[in-house]
Structure 1
Amino acid sequence: MAAAGLAWLALAAAGACLLLCARAARARRRARPRHVCVLVLGDVGRSPRMQYHALSLAQRGVRVTLLGFQGSKPHDAVLRCRRIRMTPLAEVKGPPAGPRLLRYAVKAALQALQLLRALLKMDPAAYVFLQNPPGLPSMAVTWAVCRLRGVRLAVDWHNYGYSILALTLGPRHPVVWLATWYEKLCGRLSDLNFCVTDAMREDLAKSCGIRAVTVYDRPASFFRETPLDVQHELFVKLGLTLAPFRARGEPPDPTGRRSAFTERDARGGRVRRLEGRPALLVSSTSWTEDEDFSILLKALERFDRSSREGASLPSLVCVITGRGPLKDHYSRIIGQLSLKNVQICTPWLEAEDYPLLLGSADLGVCLHTSSSGLDLPMKVVDMFGCCLPVCAVHFRCLHELVKHEENGLIFQDAEELATQLETLFSGYPGPAGRLHRFRTNLRSSRQLRWDESWERTVLPLLDEL
């Protein structure tokens, strides 16, 4: 009897403990602030996925601190949102001279101190959403602050930082080895992990022991086909006028009623497409080592040569958007090309103009190859949101996004890309051919948008918001 009494007493005590724990957990959840920090140790304006995270959280009543470098202008939807507070971080340059390893270490240490100060000053939060890369020093600093303040850390894996370092330092460099060890260790310390492809999810599990959820990049709602009158305003604004093609007999138009592609009637009425207009090809880039733009330039040289030799091809305007370290290098090469029927321009677009350009184009080209082979180019996601067919250079997991002969074409080198351009633009702008079929396929497919995808994949994991 005594033993039975003790057993019942133990069960009662255990039940009471469970009840108290449950009440304490509910109290903590009630006390948990509806506030999330979205952190980018980089240019926030050039981090659309993290902007989308912030917007999705804000649209569900969560207060968001968007923490990162000020550079490019974020999208208007982010700037207008009252629940999103932009908090700038200053980019640390590090010492201008000295051994590379020492300069890198000093820069990382200074950036760590600045980030530590910003996170400790921030209002209490339920989560920190951290973009990786760059993860050095942000992963370690953010994890330490999260543990100190009782905040959950969610790492959004866009790629591997060590694979990007290996492009310039080489895969056997000690810094690359250290970055690999650091990234895998810190990744295992996080509470949640998101990644951009199934291939990356499998690699994280296999090589790092990290369980991640695939959250594919999806186009935001403002990526869509652009109405003709808006196209005309954009072309005039960007200076895509008839001037480069005057040899075909078209006079310049000082009134702004004509672009290279469209015109508005003399009374300011309806806009119409010009007969014999050029085709518009668009590519976007960060001008980094993982995108070889010599492939596109060689393909355009062959296209121009074929056009001058009598092939049934239109004049072509190629717009390459973006900023980055190799832009000056490629701009010099472009300036040395002798092209007659191809015009190449490299403007920097405002965030609001970029979707309009994609929605006005005839074809997109992607030269992103991925330093790890495990991420996907968001630029293609945005192009597909605008029903814009794509020619994309092949790499390991591209098949998760680009379906060859369905929504675009995959190429291996400049010769293959040149052949694809000539085939797709043969007989342009007629409705026959693969270019039209790819666009029709994109229009008829129900493309999942970012917010709908986020609600299905991310929101159910945020049990304390």
Structure 2
Amino acid sequence: MAAGGGVLLLLLAAVAAVLTAWLWRRRQVAAGGVGRVCVAVLGDLGRSPRMQYHALSLARHGRDVALLGYLQSRPHGDVLRSGRIRLVPVTDLCGLLVGPKLFQYVVKVVVQAVQLLYAMLKIDQPSYILLQNPPGLPAIAVTWLACLFWRSKLIIDWHNYGYTVMSLSHGRNHPLVQIAKWYEKLFGRLSDYNLCVTNAMKEDLWVNCNIKAVTLYDKPAAYFKETPLELQHRLYMKLAGDYEPFKPRTESVSWSGEKSAFTEVDGSSGHVKKSRTRPALLISSTSWTGKGPLKDYYNGLINKLHFKHIQICTPWLEAEDYPLLLGSADLGVCLHKSSSGLDLPMKVVDMFGCCLPVCAIHFECLHELVKHNENGLIFRDSDELAAQLKMLFLEFPALEGKLHSFRKNLRACKQLRWDESWDQTVLPLLG
């Protein structure tokens, strides 16, 4: 009874907050909000590259953008430097540790709803609100209410389904998962336009949710490209200051130049070259390195393995250094598995932008991105991955074999970049 009373009080507080915001803004509503767009995500903006890309594309076409979300990590420098993009922070809610878990979850959703709605009613009136889903609970319903208030159009960018992500922790038949599924389908139908990341998701949205969407594939930004050798060396030397694997294995007594584990500068000519004995550099696409909450746990497991010929590094890179490292690597390894089987790993998109071949773990619609034996390899278990790595690096660092062939294919494919793809797909929707 006490828990129910607490939830009721929170709901009353939410209604009061909405009415207050409504009265406060009534006299300030500008006519139409033409030229303004709110790009929103109930998550960390710094780790939401696709939404940052949306904001930059809108700004490039003369739109004023309110980029709304959590400011936990720094967004890309292009976003921060844009005179048309204004960051609108939403306070990240720490977990409530009082009462049953269901009560904690309800309280969190209610408080997030109030925070998000308040933030959306404080901005200048937008003509469109572009929302990332997931997370969609409570974001979709709140954004729909904000659109009613502002007389704006709602665009949902479907990256995945929130209920399938939730099912990883609770199971598909859990009541909360079923409620989230019902909620997502119901409020998803209230949008004016919908974007999605794969053709498989486009079909699923139509067949199972009666939602018509346009596929906007993730595409690499222009700064994802092969890194020139001089920039590679500069990056390696920077990382060597903090991370052991980037330091040279041995130092020759007669060597007078600058050296990393992968590159060296000739002391007499000043030219950078790749070290003859350099190791292969693999980049793994995961969610538990960098500043991830399980970083220490996995580092503990790694340290127990006592590899002789392998070093594992879990650095946190600035947004500007990440594409440089991808453009310097020899192979990408993707461990992303979709909760719905309908989304694609954006990190592989970035790797392909850098002409970096990949080995990626199989799931249903991966073929829309990774072409087996053309731009990389698809594996199903650790044994198959091990065999692929052995085959690809058998003659390393010789420039021949499958690895070199994959890179040549990526260079030749001339794939669309984000700006061109966005202009063709999204810009016509905005009128």
TM-score by length of 2: 0.89
Give 1:94 shift: 3.9
Q: Structure 1 regions of 5+ residues with no counterpart?
A: 1-29, 288-320
Residue type matched to 1:425 in 2? F
- Superimposed CA distance per residue, residues 388-446 of structure 1 (whole angstroms, 9 cap, x where no aligned partner): 00000000000000000000000000000000000000111112200000000000111
SS in 2 for 1:279: coil
> Given the superposition, is the C-alpha separation of residues 267 and 74 from structure 1 closer, same or farther in structure 2, using an over 3 Å criterion?
farther
The equivalent residue for 2:215 is 214
CA distance in 2, matches of 1:214, 1:278: 39
- Superimposed CA distance per residue, residues 249-296 of structure 1 (whole angstroms, 9 cap, x where no aligned partner): 545999981100001122582111111211100013222xxxxxxxxx
CA distance in 1, matches of 2:238, 2:40: 34
CA distance in 1, matches of 2:139, 2:270: 54
CA distance in 2, matches of 1:253, 1:222: 38
Residue type matched to 2:325 in 1? L
The equivalent residue for 1:75 is 76
Quick check: 1:453 aligned with 2:421?
Answer: yes
C-alpha contact (below 8 Å) 2:246/2:262 kept by paired residues: no
The equivalent residue for 2:302 is 334
C-alpha contact (below 8 Å) 2:257/2:267 kept by paired residues: no
CA distance in 1, matches of 2:262, 2:183: 51
The equivalent residue for 1:203 is 204
C-alpha contact (below 8 Å) 1:242/1:259 kept by paired residues: no
CA distance in 1, matches of 2:108, 2:254: 52
Quick check: 1:386 aligned with 2:325?
Answer: no
CA distance in 2, matches of 1:324, 1:65: 27
TM-score by length of 1: 0.83
Give 1:170 shift: 1.1
The equivalent residue for 2:260 is 259
C-alpha contact (below 8 Å) 1:285/1:323 kept by paired residues: no
The equivalent residue for 1:374 is 342
The equivalent residue for 2:287 is 286
Residue type matched to 1:284 in 2? S
C-alpha contact (below 8 Å) 2:247/2:260 kept by paired residues: no
Residue type matched to 1:193 in 2? N
The equivalent residue for 2:397 is 429
CA distance in 2, matches of 1:90, 1:265: 51
> Given the superposition, is the C-alpha separation of residues 253 and 40 from structure 1 closer, same or farther in structure 2, using an over 3 Å criterion?
farther
CA distance in 2, matches of 1:349, 1:243: 14
Q: Computing the radius of gyration over CA atoms, which structure comes out larger, 1 or 2?
A: 1
Give 1:324 shift: 2.5
CA distance in 2, matches of 1:85, 1:91: 18
CA distance in 1, matches of 2:184, 2:143: 13
CA distance in 2, matches of 1:277, 1:388: 18
Give 1:32 shift: 4.3
Residue type matched to 2:364 in 1? R
Quick check: 1:398 aligned with 2:399?
Answer: no
> Given the superposition, is the C-alpha separation of residues 170 and 270 from structure 1 closer, same or farther in structure 2, using an over 3 Å criterion?
same
The equivalent residue for 2:231 is 230
The equivalent residue for 2:187 is 186
> Given the superposition, is the C-alpha separation of residues 255 and 462 from structure 1 closer, same or farther in structure 2, using an over 3 Å criterion?
farther
Residue type matched to 1:392 in 2? A
SS in 2 for 1:36: strand
CA distance in 2, matches of 1:372, 1:253: 57
Residue type matched to 2:261 in 1? A
> Given the superposition, is the C-alpha separation of residues 417 and 234 from structure 1 closer, same or farther in structure 2, using an over 3 Å criterion?
same
The equivalent residue for 2:40 is 39
> Given the superposition, is the C-alpha separation of residues 116 and 434 from structure 1 closer, same or farther in structure 2, using an over 3 Å criterion?
same
The equivalent residue for 1:61 is 62
C-alpha contact (below 8 Å) 2:392/2:401 kept by paired residues: yes
Residue 377 (structure 2) aligned to one of 387, 409, 424: 409
Quick check: 1:162 aligned with 2:163?
Answer: yes
CA distance in 1, matches of 2:224, 2:246: 29
Q: Structure 2 regions of 5+ residues with no counterpart?
A: 1-30
C-alpha contact (below 8 Å) 1:33/1:125 kept by paired residues: yes
- What are the within-5 Å matches in structure 2 for residues 258-277 of structure 1? 258-266=259-267, 269-277=270-278
CA distance in 2, matches of 1:101, 1:376: 31
The equivalent residue for 1:361 is 329
C-alpha contact (below 8 Å) 1:363/1:388 kept by paired residues: yes
- What are the within-5 Å matches in structure 2 for residues 96-135 of structure 1? 96-135=97-136
Quick check: 1:177 aligned with 2:178?
Answer: yes
SS in 2 for 1:342: coil
> Given the superposition, is the C-alpha separation of residues 106 and 203 from structure 1 closer, same or farther in structure 2, using an over 3 Å criterion?
same
CA distance in 2, matches of 1:103, 1:254: 62
Quick check: 1:143 aligned with 2:124?
Answer: no
CA distance in 2, matches of 1:267, 1:87: 52
CA distance in 2, matches of 1:192, 1:252: 65
- Superimposed CA distance per residue, residues 307-366 of structure 1 (whole angstroms, 9 cap, x where no aligned partner): xxxxxxxxxxxxxx5332332221111011111111000001100000000000000000
- Superimposed CA distance per residue, residues 130-180 of structure 1 (whole angstroms, 9 cap, x where no aligned partner): 000001111101101101210000000000111111101111111101100
Residue type matched to 2:212 in 1? R
C-alpha root-mean-square deviation of aligned residues, in Å? 1.9
CA distance in 2, matches of 1:242, 1:393: 26
SS in 2 for 1:415: helix
Give 1:97 shift: 2.8
SS in 1 for 2:219: coil
Residue type matched to 2:208 in 1? S
C-alpha contact (below 8 Å) 1:241/1:259 kept by paired residues: no
C-alpha contact (below 8 Å) 2:225/2:353 kept by paired residues: yes
CA distance in 1, matches of 2:257, 2:325: 18
Quick check: 1:351 aligned with 2:311?
Answer: no
CA distance in 1, matches of 2:254, 2:145: 61
Residue type matched to 1:208 in 2? C
SS in 1 for 2:311: strand
Residue type matched to 1:383 in 2? M
